[in-house]
Amino acid sequence: MKTDPLITEFPKPEIGKEMKGAEIAIDCLVREGVEVIFAYPGGASQDLHQALAKCDKIRTILPRHEQGGGFAAEGYARTTGKAGVCMATSGPGATNLITAIADAYMDSTPLVAITGQVKQQFIGKSAFQETDIFGMTLPIVKHSYLVLNAEDLPGIIKEAFFLATSGRPGPVLIDIPKDVQQAVIQPVYPAKTEIRSYQPAVTATDGQLEEVIALIARAKRPVLYVGGGIISGDAHHELFEFAERTRIPVTSTLMGVGCFPETNPLSLKWFGMHGTVAGNYAVHESDLLLAFGVRFDDRITGEVTKFAPAATIVHIDIDASEHNKNKVVQYPIVSGIKHALGRMNELMSKAGFEAPDRSPWMQRIEEWKTKYPFSYKESSDGRFILAQEAIRMLFELTKGEAIITTGVGQHQMWAAQFYDFVKPRSFISSLGLGAMGFGYPAALGAKMAQPDREVIDIDGDGSFLMNIQELATARIENIGAKALVLNNQHLGMVVQWEDRFYNSARAHTILGDKENIGGPDNLPGLYPNFVEIAKGFGVSARMVYKKEELKDAMQEMLAHDGPYVLDVIVPYTEHVLPMIPSGKTVAEMIIE
């Protein structure tokens, strides 16, 4: 009997043994290769936790706050490319995940967030700890599910992981009522999943890519503007070959840091509001801008109508909704970036492409790089520690091999400026949402994913304090993530804006004792005492404020086996430069 070629043969589903819905859900996680979950229990998720407690294939990490668990799952995902998984109970447990879900949405991070829900008979009736988490998260998820039948769990969970990790990655929410968790059924596990109208594997045509190659051959001042899509698309090898073959200088977004080695002569590091002068100038003066895996966000473009004004722009991205959303371009191409770069490399090789001589352009770029490097001025007497030199020392002592997470603020920008990144998935930061408190929980997730690499959270005192309770998680779970806290007793980035645009009027930006703060020498004004707090959690810690103490303290931190907090007192008067004020242009960049 002949098989009709038009009929697709799907693998047969597997029928499992009878069990509770909660047990089925956890079994589905195992089938998806989940090894760790960050989960905080409660009444509506208790059955799921009972099932987890009986599962020896998934390690359950108990965060001390659901937001910390969500950020940790993001750190795990950003470091591996796999979906991070977090779980919370209904009501406040679920709402505490919202910031992490929004962060994953903004930064295209694969995340599966599972929430318990009240029994279906109570939904919509303001029951105890009931919130419409499905409705609340609709604008900030790639997709969401409210599971109404236990029979649907295997198919929904398989779909959720497929959606979270395919195409443009993002967060998916699965809300499971308690009666669904408690229902006893015989599950049917689908062998594969297909979603009608969802086709994530989109590729550019050879004709489109040959047009791009022709543009490159004619360009006199080309620049590669690359972003997080290179990393999530696992296309850094293809990018490296493409840049070397075409001899086009590369500048990245903060999400793209590490996708191209920053020590390579073609690298302009990253550009945008606080990025390199060379990167900003090069993009501004380019005649061909190759925008690969990026979204033209406001911190990159400034005044968008004046961004790269003379350039022909090619925008290759897997998400068609990003084309012409912020910046109208001449060549919008929908494609997976790994395919596009790889295929262009093949086409150029086949055609015997040779990069044209662009010596005047490259010489101009080299002059900008030499004249305007990231730099700082040492304190007048040279005794006190600047945040920038602490980060640079960390880079030197770790030889650039550490995974760096950050909170949000000045320290975040300085970390990206003064730590050189040569590998993807080594700079993990909240960039689209800019969520303070991200750094240390994300470091926990990153360390869980990469236990053999040094993982260090470069944080500010304000940001670190927002999720400081996760030191308890680090101690109890024996997760050796470390924190370098650059402590200036202020909300440093907001203070910088106050200094630049509000006549230095302080509007609730001082975190320490207002009566005593006067500088690094004024230690009695320090509040809180991070060393005592860390020790209260059972975590080793040390505080330094003199330059001659810094190297020894940092070596002690790096040598320590386990979590560690190094509290480095720095002045609050430093500003992150260069700086393009919000909504302004390269012409209005503040360089010093």
Q: Is residue 587 part of a domain?
A: no
Q: Is residue 313 part of a domain?
A: yes
The one-letter amino acid code at 564 reads: Y
Active site residue 178: yes
Q: Which of the residues 10, 121, 128, 514 is marked catalytic?
A: 128
Contact 455, 443 (CB under 8 A): yes
Q: Which of the residues 46, 50, 120, 129 is marked catalytic?
A: 129
Statement to judge: residues 246 and 292 lie in one domain: yes
Residue 235 structure tokens: 């296309």
3-state secondary structure of 309: coil
pTM (two decimals): 0.96
Q: Is residue 378 part of a domain?
A: no
Quickly list H helices, 81-118: 92-95, 98-106
Statement to judge: residues 249 and 394 lie in one domain: no
pLDDT, residue 415, reads 98
Query: Which H, E and C letters describe 475-490, residue by residue?
Result: HHHCCCCEEEEEECCE
Q: Is residue 529 part of a domain?
A: yes
Q: Which of the residues 23, 32, 66, 389 is marked catalytic?
A: 66
Contact 175, 138 (CB under 8 A): no
Active site residue 129: yes
Long-range CB pairs of 318-325, under 8 A, 24+ apart, other chains included: 318/167, 318/168, 318/200, 318/202, 318/229, 318/233, 318/293, 319/167, 319/168, 322/295, 322/296, 325/295, 325/296
Residue 564 structure tokens: 């560690």
Q: Is residue 425 part of a domain?
A: yes
Match 């990393």 to its residue by tokens: 231
pLDDT, residue 2, reads 46
Q: Which string of b and e fits 269-289 if b means at least 16 CB within 10 Å?
A: bbbbbbbbbbbbbbbbbbbbb
Structural domain ending residue among the three candidates 323, 344, 371: 371
Nearest Cα neighbor of 403 from 79, 107, 110, 109 is 79
Total of domains in the chain: 3
Statement to judge: residues 340 and 418 lie in one domain: no
- For residue 578, is the peptide bond before it cis, meaning its omega torsion is within 30 degrees of 0? yes
Statement to judge: residues 543 and 398 lie in one domain: yes
Active site residue 307: no
pLDDT, residue 514, reads 73
What's the CA gap between 420 and 257, in Å, rounded? Answer: 9
Strand ranges, E, within 157-311: 171-177, 184-185, 188-189, 222-226, 250-252, 267-270, 288-292
Q: Which of the residues 106, 255, 493, 557 is marked catalytic?
A: 493
Q: Which of the residues 142, 158, 178, 327 is marked catalytic?
A: 178
Statement to judge: residues 336 and 463 lie in one domain: no
How confident is the chain (592 residues) per 10-residue block, as mean pLDDT?
A: 48 90 98 98 98 98 98 98 98 98 98 98 95 98 98 98 98 98 97 89 97 98 98 98 98 98 98 98 98 97 97 98 97 98 98 97 98 89 90 98 98 98 98 98 98 98 98 98 97 97 95 68 74 97 96 98 97 96 96 92
Rg (CA), the chain: 25
Nearest Cα neighbor of 76 from 483, 455, 337, 468 is 455
Statement to judge: residues 288 and 259 lie in one domain: yes
Q: Is residue 575 part of a domain?
A: no
Quickly list H helices, 453-520: 461-466, 470-477, 492-501
Domain encompassing residue 400: 387-569
Q: Is residue 2 part of a domain?
A: no
The one-letter amino acid code at 515 reads: E
